[in-house]
Amino acid sequence: MAVQRTFSIIKPDATARNLTGKITSKFEEQGLRIVASKRIRMSRLQAREFYGVHKERPFYDELVEYMVSGPVVVQVLEGENAVARNREIMGATDPSKAAAGTIRKEFAENIERNSVHGSDSPENAANEIRFFFSDTEIVG
């Protein structure tokens, strides 16, 4: 498997509890390199578009409000098999089902306030990276 890039968000529940460094360390300790990172306040429009795939789900409006409720850190992670690797490091969406040692098991508050987003396929990773970063902001 070649070196790959994936997209990550440290979500508002985690920035509120000052967990940016601890979460970033999990990526670095497990072989992913942060090749781009910025702390932003997502607009409602951005959040609605970013999570557009979930717009028919009952939790969509609440999810959008949560994502704009505080700062987030958007990042590009690089490494071998980075998309799947990051999903392993994050753990299951529902923290009560996440494996020991994963970010969500250690830090998530509940199924919505689950501390991190990570792309679920290489295609989505490319689209999500482009949604938040220009090429010159990514330094490998």
Residue 120 tokens, joined: 């679920």
Q: Is 54 a catalytic residue?
A: no
**CB neighbour list of residue 62: distance below 8 Å, 6 or more residues apart:** 112
The one among 106, 109, 112, 137 contacting ligand ADP by CB under 6 A: 112
C-beta nearest to Mg ion: residue: 120
CB-based contact 83:119 (threshold 8 Å): yes
Instruction: Mark residues 35-74: x for contact with ligand ADP by CB under 6 A, - for none.
Output: -------------------x----x---x-----------
Stretch near ligand ADP under the rule CB under 6 A, chosen from 32-40, 78-86, 106-114, 126-134: 106-114
CB-based contact 57:48 (threshold 8 Å): no
* Gap between the Cα atoms of 106 and 15, Å rounded: 15
Catalytic-labelled residue, pool 5, 26, 85, 117:
117
